[in-house]
Amino acid sequence: MRLILLGPPGAGKGTQAQRLVHKHSIVQLSTGEVLRAAVAAQTPIGLKAKDIMASGQLVPDEIVIGIISDRLDQPDVKNGFILDGFPRTVPQAEALDELLRHKHLKLDAVIELRVNESALLNRVETRVAEMRARGEEVRVDDTPEVLSKRLSSYRSLTEPLIHYYSERRKLLTVDGMMTIEEVSREINRILAAIGAVEPHGAKEAKAAKKAAAPKRAAQGHRAAARSSGRAVKKAAKAPKKAAKAARKAGKSVSKGASKAAKKSARRVAGAAKARRFGKPKKAAKRVAKKVTKRRAKA
Ligand code: AMP
């Protein structure tokens, strides 16, 4: 399973990523974590990134793309990964597409955690208080001033990714305002629904089936509409051929077992049949008229 978690700072990406890591035995790739480690170790990248991060700005694309490219080459990502905090700009997303294509890897989904901005400051304050209580070092960028800068860079540079991935049919949005437990459950439910993970337990399996059902029906209906459209066009040209095509459409759809799909296929088959049998009727009427005229003349 290969996922991206998208959302503003404080949306809960890190928390949800860790839960997914435990549940599905995949790795979390967090550019923020890698950069903080680089800053702590005072590596050349860390030295470049230190002030940028402390001010709430984004580190240059080429640095984070390089980090992800190296990371994707390591053996522990084989089982799957969650990208947390990457990509953050459209050029980063394009670079990721290229990297994945090159490595023959396919992204399963991008999960957007949608949150109410006014709640974010509270969340970050809670995170800081919890870290202090655990005796952990508090992040330098977890202050109200820096948070507002991080939020504004999210809005202008990262939010366009919602459109980017939605256009590519990868985006799944989850209400990030629910409790941690509820958000996790919802993420697992939609992952099961798209077939990215096996549903765990009867409840999840049932929810996944329910979530997938309308999609399957719609797909079946669309497929039927497409093939029935083709059949109708053919019917206008050659009734016999069209009847055959329509019957064929009816057969393939009945395999999909969608009621709506079957109905539209039946309609097309009926229309084609009517044309097939309708023409001789008209022809017979025309002949009858001619005969009446001839009789009248005689
Ligand atoms: P995070 O832990 O994801 O909140 O990231 C902390 C900081 O690291 C961000 O405010 C940025 O300065 C930097 N950073 C992390 N990921 C990226 C990225 N993909 N692109 C640019 N800068 C990043």
Rounded to whole angstroms, the Cα distance separating 105 from 281 reads: 60
pLDDT tens-place string over residues 48-97 = 999 999 999 999 999 999 999 999 999 999 989 999 999 999 999 999 99
Distance 156 CA to ligand 1 centre (A): 14
Rounded to whole angstroms, the Cα distance separating 66 from 179 reads: 35
Q: Which helix (H) or strand (E) is 116 found in, with range?
A: none
Active site residue 123: no
Beta-carbon contacts of residue 262 (< 8 Å; ≥ 6 apart): 224, 250, 253, 254
pLDDT tens-place string over residues 205-250 = 665 566 555 444 444 433 333 333 333 333 334 444 444 444 444 3
Distance 248 CA to ligand 1 centre (A): 55
Three-state DSSP at 147 gives helix
Distance 133 CA to ligand 1 centre (A): 24
Domain boundaries, the chain: 2-198, 214-297
- Tell me the best of 28, 39, 55, 59 to mutate to test the pocket of ligand 1, counting ligand atoms within 8 Å of each CB and taking the most: 59
CB of 9 sitting under 6 A from ligand 1: yes
Active site residue 226: no
Q: What percent of the chain lies above the pLDDT cut of 90?
A: 53
Which member of 2, 36, 71, 127 is catalytic? 127
Active site residue 132: no
Domain 2-198 carries which CATH code? 3.40.50.300
CB of 53 sitting under 6 A from ligand 1: yes
pLDDT band at 184 (very low <50, low <70, confident <90, very high): very high
Which member of 2, 88, 234, 275 is catalytic? 88
| Residue 136 token pair | 């952990």
Distance 64 CA to ligand 1 centre (A): 8
Q: Give 188: exposed, middle or buried? Use CB within 10 Å, 0-12, 13-18, 19+.
A: buried
Three-state DSSP at 282 gives helix
CB of 64 sitting under 6 A from ligand 1: yes
Q: What is the mean pLDDT of the chain?
A: 77
CB of 161 sitting under 6 A from ligand 1: no
Active site residue 88: yes
